[in-house]
């Protein structure tokens, strides 16, 4: 099984703090948002490769991060965009990555800018037991 971490957004609603860095590199205590996701994916032996889908604008930051991290599974996959107006949305970015990387097996897809309060391995268990596509959602209760 492969995993995809979608990290290709421009986080324009959080400018200026995300103008020059990806949202998933924002600190959460001693780590970043993406560190928490990578730790879960790295620990699951069923996942043999993690594609990090980002845009051309932030590709350098991800290259540096991946070169310096202890995580072994992540591979950078760069979308052909440099601005929010060029994006095709989440589904378009995922379709492009599948084509670009030639993926033809089960995928677990994680939004790279989300703090996840559940174990990704348990979700993969649920998917395996169900034998069909599955979607995780979080009930925030009352708005």
Domain boundaries along the sequence of the chain: 2-130
Going by the DSSP 8-state scheme, the letter that residue 109 receives in this structure is E
The region of weakest confidence among 12-21, 123-132, 133-142 is 12-21
**Short-list 107, 39, 111, 30, CA closest to 71:** 39
User: Residue 110 CB: number of other CB atoms within 10 A?
Assistant: 22
Could you report the per-residue pLDDT of 23-69, keeping only the tens digit for each?
Answer: 888 888 898 888 989 999 999 999 999 999 988 888 999 999 999 99
Look up the CATH number of domain 2-130: 3.90.550.10
* No. of helices (H) and no. of strands (E), the chain: 4, 6
Task: Give me the half-sphere count of Cα atoms (radius 13 Å) on the Cβ side of residue 19.
Answer: 3
The reported pTM is: 0.86
Rounded-to-integer distance, Cα 106 and Cα 3, Å: 8
């Amino acid at each position: 099984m492969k995993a995809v971490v979608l990290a290709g957004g421009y986080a324009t609603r959080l400018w200026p703090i995300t103008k020059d860095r990806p949202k998933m590199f924002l600190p959460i205590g001693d780590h970043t948002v993406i560190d928490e996701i990578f730790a879960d994916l790295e620990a699951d032996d069923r996942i043999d490769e993690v594609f990090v889908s980002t845009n051309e604008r932030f590709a350098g930051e991800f290259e540096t991060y991946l070169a310096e991290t202890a995580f072994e599974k992540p591979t950078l996959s760069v979308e052909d965009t440099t601005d929010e107006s060029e994006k095709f949305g989440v589904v378009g970015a995922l379709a492009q990555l599948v084509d670009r990387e030639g993926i033809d097996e089960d995928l677990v897809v994680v939004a790279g800018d989300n703090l996840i309060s559940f174990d990704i391995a348990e979700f993969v268990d649920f998917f395996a037991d169900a034998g069909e596509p599955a979607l995780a959602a979080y009930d925030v209760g009352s708005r």
